[in-house]
Copies of this chain bind each other. A is one copy, B any other.
């Protein structure tokens, strides 16, 4: 594997999950694999789980790690071709990407969408800019349209917790006071497409995700119906995709409650706003898997970095 940019880069999900669970049982088994190699983590946005878990995974593999908050510590980047750079950007992605690859063997990047310019967001200028101009493997630590390290951690968590041949998994939209990206939902949907499961997406009308991603998934606008007999309920807010980046409704009836959840397991990528997205009673119960999901971020990153290191 060269890059890990989206769920599409996983050639065999069940095999990866199996290997990740072995890594989890002995995280330091490959501690010489990354010797004399360096990974750069470039953050264009805030991060808690991704920042710590990716560092941890890299250290488990014996990699040297350099962490950089590109926005505040580096230079404002230009992405346009042929731009006369006499405004606010002082370095072009062409140079930045090539330069970073002089100092490390792998680069991991977090770059959120604007949520104002759909075309530019979908072009993934930061991630694809690095991919295009760098000579080293690029790992997506959450881009405009995907968060494949999260979805892989979710797959590990599902595998650990699932007891059925074909579990029912529901992705349920939730209200939120701020406009949020589609990345987590997109990658979860793509990952579920690689699983044996009865998968349903539920959200209010107007909150349809990109059809190119949901084309093979079932969409049920009635949340109650969608949740019937669910084994796992993944709750997540996202802003409208059609009416790009807009908050159409904040209806509190879409919040996940203990009552609605029934006996299903609760999943969320975190951070989560309590009593807005989901009530305390769910998060504080044994049905919540959120901490397990966060824990599995380490092994999701570690299996990805391991595969990249093995093909360097």
Contact = CB atoms under 8 A, between A and B. Distances in A.
Interface of A: 28, 31, 36, 38, 40, 43, 46-49, 51-53, 55-56, 59, 64, 66, 68-70, 72-75, 78, 82-87, 89-92, 94-96, 98-100, 102-104, 177-178, 270-276, 280, 283-284, 290-291, 294-295, 297-298
Contact of A74 (B46, B83, B89, B298): B46
Nearest to A43: B73
Number of copies: 3
Contacts of A102: 53, 291, 294-295, 297-298
Contacts of A85: 273-276
A73 B84 contact: no
A82 to B, nearest CB: 6
Given A52-B99, A59-B64, 7 more contacts: A46-B73, A48-B74, A48-B91, A49-B99, A56-B104, A83-B274, A95-B270
A290 B55 CA distance: 30
A174 to B, nearest CB: 12
B66 A38 contact: no
Nearest to A268: B95
A98 to B, nearest CB: 5
Contacts of A56: 38, 66, 103-104
B51 A38 contact: no
18 contacts: A31-B36, A46-B74, A48-B74, A49-B99, A52-B99, A59-B64, A82-B280, A84-B274, A84-B275, A84-B276, A86-B276, A90-B271, A91-B271, A95-B270, A95-B272, A95-B290, A99-B291, A103-B298
